[in-house]
Structure 1
């Protein structure tokens, strides 16, 4: 490496270190120290999660959470401070801001911080660099095998059973729950994992979509191309965490699994209604 390149490398390293120290506060360092999240000697786990990347992301999200979306979270005392757990929210807003905000709420929970893993759609890793970055901050492709291994390690996992049916719905469908997949309930039954339902209010208004340009989405190989604001709007977000739900035993049929899923869906609907009654203004 020539001298000029060496100086540039040192300058870049110094800039990164200064940025890290500015964004990652002592309070965040203390939270991460309390999280039950074992990583290897290099700071990574088997799925690519990296503590330093997660701390930087949390430092940035802190401003969005507290000042841009002005999130109000209720019921965090219902989240167990350790042990396997499935967090099941409604999904909306075109971009996965709901998962980001729920993850921050769990990580800063005064009753016990948790480093949550969010299940993401398979198209995200196809975007250059995005997949690796999402892995580094805790996101993982929503595959049953990934979920199984994480639950066996007593992780907390955020799963959106509506999938893109929820995130990509139009504004006229706001707060109308879409069909839930049954996969999370199979995991809960197989691994005796409690479920904490979450009602999210506000993300519907962050990127209200008037239409979906389906032909363009198909051409680009992505789930949808919404006619929506180019950036999220500063809607006030309310997160209501419900009491843990336990489902014992094995379901004899898929109809029985679906019936259990409907119980969770109904609880989420109640939590959404609570948030809608709570908010006094959208923005």
Structure 2
């Protein structure tokens, strides 16, 4: 990595406050620290900023690359780049745009390892997870990695928007057992981050799929996080996020169209009319206030083998879901909805 950090120019500040420019900022920051011959160039960045210009930029890049997509490189997690991205790009977004805050910080343990579970909504780029990772790193000095759907690493749209290895280098872990085990086995990169901290969405892809109408309703929890906690003796730290539903409000998911484009979810809302003109806004989200309530630590189970019946694990997962649902309803002052 270069010895000098990334210094915002007037153009970067413009991109930060002009929604189609977020994608430019992410790519410019990457290109400062990495050699990326297949990446976007300045002419294409300029086209991002005008209505419909993204399509011309995409055509320009495709022609420049010799009628082929960007190279699909396999990247490894780089905690130094994650820290640089957190301090130089995420910091102003989290502080001034999402106005994020941790509540009940006294429930945060001083060290890991931990599986941090959180309700997941928003039907957009996973800003609720990125923001929580930022806050945990700022508060405890932890190095945080997030488990994500494999499609978000390899979908053709993603490799055109962002560098092909961007998610992995920032710490993304594919939601597959082998990748989780590899992430847990990797040595802790800094002295301040004692033990692995992994963010996990128990609702899985059902969280973003529920859309605006059921935005406050937790979906059924997968049991895998309980099984992983038992197997690796890792305690669970439940977190409730309020405000993520406004990242992409009024959205619904059309399953037939979603399957057609092979995405895990495809949010449709009035904002999609703007996205058609400015596809670079695919990583943007509405301004909101993200509040994270930290719950008491749930100790890991003692059973690390298959002798624990699946029904027992399922019951544990749904009991936690019901507990967090009650907390969400209390924070919102709303009655329980089925």
Asked whether the two chains share a fold, i.e. TM above 0.5, the reply is yes
Structure 2 CA distance for partners of 1:48 and 1:169, relative to 1, 3 Å:
same
Of 79, 99, 108, which aligns to 1:79? 108
Structure 2 CA distance for partners of 1:249 and 1:52, relative to 1, 3 Å:
closer
Please state whether the residue corresponding to 1:173 is helix, strand or coil: coil
Of 264, 269, 272, which aligns to 2:328? 272
Higher relative contact order (CA closer than 8 Å, sequence separation 6+): 2
Are 2:110 and 1:124 aligned?
A: no
1:254-273 equivalences in 2 (<5 Å):
254-273=310-329
Please state whether the residue corresponding to 1:172 is helix, strand or coil: coil
Aligned to 2:219: 178
Flag structure 2 segments of 5+ consecutive residues without an equivalent.
10-73, 187-194, 276-283, 334-338
Do 2:147 and 2:199's aligned partners in 1 also have CA atoms closer than 8 Å? yes
Aligned to 1:197: 238
Aligned to 1:133: 166
TM-score by length of 2: 0.65
1:1-283 equivalences in 2 (<5 Å):
20-21=6-7, 48-58=76-86, 59-95=88-124, 96-109=126-139, 112-126=140-154, 127-128=158-159, 129-152=162-185, 154-228=195-269, 229=271, 230=275, 231-250=284-303, 252-277=308-333
CA deviations 1:95-148 (Å, max 9, x no partner) are: 211111110111101xx2211110010111213155510111111101122223
Number of residue-to-residue matches in the alignment: 239
CA deviations 1:11-46 (Å, max 9, x no partner) are: xx9xx87661559xxxxxxxxxxxxxxxxxxxxxx9
CA distance in 2, matches of 1:274, 1:55: 35
Most deviating of 174-183 and 121-130: 121-130
Do 1:162 and 1:179's aligned partners in 2 also have CA atoms closer than 8 Å? yes
Please state whether the residue corresponding to 2:122 is helix, strand or coil: coil
Structure 2 CA distance for partners of 1:84 and 1:169, relative to 1, 3 Å:
same
Most deviating of 119-128 and 268-277: 268-277
CA distance in 1, matches of 2:136, 2:249: 26
The two structures, once aligned, show a CA RMSD in angstroms of 2.4
Aligned to 2:190: none
